């Protein structure tokens, strides 16, 4: 049991290391498949010992071994968070296609939310990769899940497209695509929970930022991170939330 969890944790940390590459390179329109990893400070090509997930950051005491530049804490945090999500998904679903589907789903959410938070963009490459991998994985996850996923894909996408049109740009194209992708993985009616959580957290954060003077009423706030939060919560707890709502509403 613990051996399986250790393998999953290591796998998640390695995937997290690759996600760091995507987070760094995609906004700069650089290839994530070609070109060796290098220090952003001195440009020195990094060796194997510099790239071991989690271990290298601790071993190097958070600094580049060549120029001494401080390494962003984002790198080990992304690796750790990805590994934690992988292990949690394994606990929920065990060794089955649903688990693999959620691993891909969480990897996409982590990447796009951090890129959107910093650069206010959601790269099409991540959405396309999520769709290409998601279609077969959702199909393999269980009977009828692909149909529900496709319904949610178009429902969420059309909802966000309508919001974007009515608000005249209040919702970005990346948010439309990301909401559709979340619908594909979560299916119906779980997508409703994901979007409700997203709007709830996004609204609370927006009010807090305005109250603190960090944002004005007309300032754009990246919505990708809140969609990611909604997607993660719904992935694990949508069934319970829906059951609780039906219980208190008498439906």
Give the model confidence (pLDDT) of 112-127 as tens digits. 999 999 999 999 999 9
The CB-side HSE value for 249 (13 A sphere, CA atoms) comes to 7
- Residue 210 is predicted with a pLDDT of 84
At 4-18, the pLDDT tens digits run: 999 999 999 999 999
pLDDT number for residue 44: 84
Task: Give yes or no for residue 89 having a pLDDT over 80.
Answer: yes
> Taking the CA of residue 15 as centre, how many other CA atoms within 13 Å lie in the half-sphere pointing to its CB?
23
Give start and end residues of each alpha helix (H) in 68-189. 74-93, 97-119, 124-141, 145-166, 173-186
How many other C-beta atoms are found inside a 10 Å radius of the C-beta of residue 133?
A: 18
Q: Can you tell me the mean pLDDT for 96-108?
A: 97
User: How do residues 124-178 score in pLDDT, each as one tens digit?
Assistant: 999 999 999 999 999 999 888 999 999 999 999 999 999 989 887 678 899 999 9
Do residues 192 and 145 lie in contact, with contact meaning Cβ atoms separated by under 8 Å? Answer: no
pLDDT of residue 196: 96
Domain boundaries, the chain: 1-84, 96-251
Prediction pTM value = 0.93
Within 8 A by CB and 6+ apart from 212, the residues are none
pLDDT tens profile 184-218: 999 999 999 999 999 999 999 988 988 887 777 77
**Lowest-confidence segment of 65-69, 77-81, 82-86, 129-133 by average pLDDT:** 65-69
Q: Which residue has the higher pLDDT, 47 or 99?
A: 99
Q: What is the pLDDT of residues 166-182, one digit of tens each?
A: 887 678 899 999 999 99
Q: What percent of the chain has pLDDT over 70?
A: 98
pLDDT at 112: 97
- pLDDT value at 1 more than 60: no
Computed over every residue of the chain, the mean pLDDT equals: 92
What pLDDT is stored for residue 251 in this prediction?
66
């Amino acid at each position: 049991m613990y051996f399986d969890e250790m393998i999953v944790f290591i796998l998640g940390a390695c995937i997290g290391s690759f996600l760091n590459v995507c987070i760094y390179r995609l906004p700069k329109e650089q290839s994530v498949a070609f070109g060796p990893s290098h220090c952003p400070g001195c440009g020195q090509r990094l060796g194997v010992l510099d790239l071991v997930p989690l271990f290298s950051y601790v071993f190097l005491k958070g600094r580049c071994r060549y120029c001494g530049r401080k390494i962003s804490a984002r790198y080990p945090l992304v690796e750790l968070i990805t590994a934690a999500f992988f292990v949690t998904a394994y606990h929920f679903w065990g060794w089955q296609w649903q688990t693999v589907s959620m691993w891909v789903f969480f990897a996409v959410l982590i990447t796009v939310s951090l890129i959107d938070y910093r650069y206010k963009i959601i790269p099409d490459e991540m959405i396309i990769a999520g769709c290409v991998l998601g279609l077969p994985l959702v199909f393999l996850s269980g009977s009828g899940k692909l149909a529900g996923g496709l319904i949610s894909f178009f429902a969420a996408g059309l909802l966000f497209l309508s919001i974007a049109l009515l608000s005249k740009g209040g919702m970005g194209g990346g948010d439309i695509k990301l909401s559709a992708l979340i619908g594909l993985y979560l299916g119906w009616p779980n997508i409703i929970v994901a979007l409700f959580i997203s709007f709830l957290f996004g609204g609370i954060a927006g009010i807090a930022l305005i109250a603190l003077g960090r944002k004005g009423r007309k300032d754009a706030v990246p919505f990708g991170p809140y969609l990611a939060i909604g997607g993660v919560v719904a992935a694990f707890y949508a069934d319970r939330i829906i059951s609780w709502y039906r219980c208190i509403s008498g439906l």
